[in-house]
Amino acid sequence: MGILIVLFILLFIHIHGNGHHKEAKGNALSNCDLFQGNWVVDDSYPLYTTSQCPFIIKEFDCQKNGRPDKLYVKYRWQPKGCNLPRFNGEDFLRRLTGKSILFVGDSLSLNQWQSLTCMLYKDVPHANYTLVRTGDLSTFTFPSYDVKVMLSRNAFLVDTVNESIGRVLKLDSIEGAKMWKGNDILIFDSWHWWLHTGRKQPWDFIQEGNHTYKDMNRLVAYEKGLKTWAKWVEDNVDPNKTRIFFQGVSPDHLDGAKWGQPSARFCEGQKVPVFGLNYPGGPHPAELVLEKVLRGMSKSKHVYLLNITTLSQMRKDGHPSVYGHGGHRDMDCSHWCLPGLPDTWNLLLNAALIHN
């Protein structure tokens, strides 16, 4: 009998000790690499449901679009050396009173921005909020906390300008950055649009200095554009006033060969992550470019890389696939369902904000 009770106690400790509820092991956040770890099932997930977040856009609302499997919302990221701090929306808003957070980037920024507004709203459902969309800027405000969470759609970070010859992507021009000033937290992302060709390519020429090109190796163009962005940060950001993050490159899952399945397999029907500590497909070439540019910046600027590439590569199960907006006609293996993976990106953002 005594042994049984001890067994039950041990079992209890085991179950609850692994939960999301526990705070960082020994509070070792400072010397823990948050981005190395693995995915574990946690029954307390997801952090919110579709019905707790009335403003999820259709493209990301996989449950409402009829996705039948639900295990993909149950995965929690477990860093190797510590636990991620739990998210407390009210605490997050109090800490940022009077501040504005601006996401700048493509639809992967939209994905993360929506996730953050859902996580916050779920924790303060009685607070008033306003959501205003004007042109490429979306502003989500919690007036009672005096906090703004904004999104500026900007695929390249550098400028695209209409000229007599056509639309010109200017690798060394960044006039669009004017609107980034005056915000307290900036979270950038850019990659996917650099790849687009044909009808989806929103420029006709690339210009650098006095040279105009019909096209260029896209990784090279990406690096040049990022360097212009880095120079803007060096020249314009006071790290005592503004915190800067860069969302690492978010991977697609268009080729099953990358995770050991037939090449023809897209992400459709994937119900579980790649387990283990590494992704068989290896590092993402664009991520290597991004990391190189960030390494070249002065340390005093403190650009924090949300190094989400590897942990996201493992989540071949996290995309909308046919449960986005387009069904089989427009299979989506690039964006992520909400609730889902971008919630983890925001847990990592939260950990970085708390820690510093």
Query: Which residues contact ligand NAG by CB under 6 A?
Result: 35-36, 127-128, 144, 162, 167, 209-210, 238, 240, 291, 305, 307, 310
In which order are the strands placed within the sheet that holds 137-142?
Answer: 130-134, 137-142, 147-153, 100-105, 185-188, 243-247, 303-306
Q: Write down the catalytic residue from 107, 152, 190, 321.
A: 107
- Name which of 42 and 172 has its Cβ closer to ligand NAG: 172
Q: How far are the Cα atoms of 84, 186, 287, 300, 333 from residue 252, in angstroms, in the given order?
A: 25, 24, 13, 33, 6
- Name which of 34 and 56 has its Cβ closer to ligand NAG: 34
CB of 212 vs ligand NAG, minimal distance in Å: 12
For residues 190 and 154, what is the distance between their CA atoms, to the nearest angstrom?
8
CB of 300 vs ligand NAG, minimal distance in Å: 7
Residue 343 annotated as catalytic: no
Give the phi and the psi of residue 142 in degrees, each rounded to 5. Answer: -105, 90
Q: Could you tell me which residues come within 8 angstroms of residue 230 by beta carbon, excluding any fewer than 6 positions away?
A: 293, 294, 296, 297
Output DSSP code: residue 71: G
- 347 near 35, Cβ under 8 Å? no
Q: Write down the catalytic residue from 192, 253, 284, 335.
A: 335
- Name which of 117 and 313 has its Cβ closer to ligand NAG: 313
CB of 35 vs ligand NAG, minimal distance in Å: 5
Residue 335 annotated as catalytic: yes
Taking alpha carbons only, the member of 121, 99, 127, 103 closest to residue 113 is 103
Residue 334 annotated as catalytic: no
CB of 324 vs ligand NAG, minimal distance in Å: 25
- Name which of 2 and 209 has its Cβ closer to ligand NAG: 209
Give catalytic residue positions: 107, 332, 335
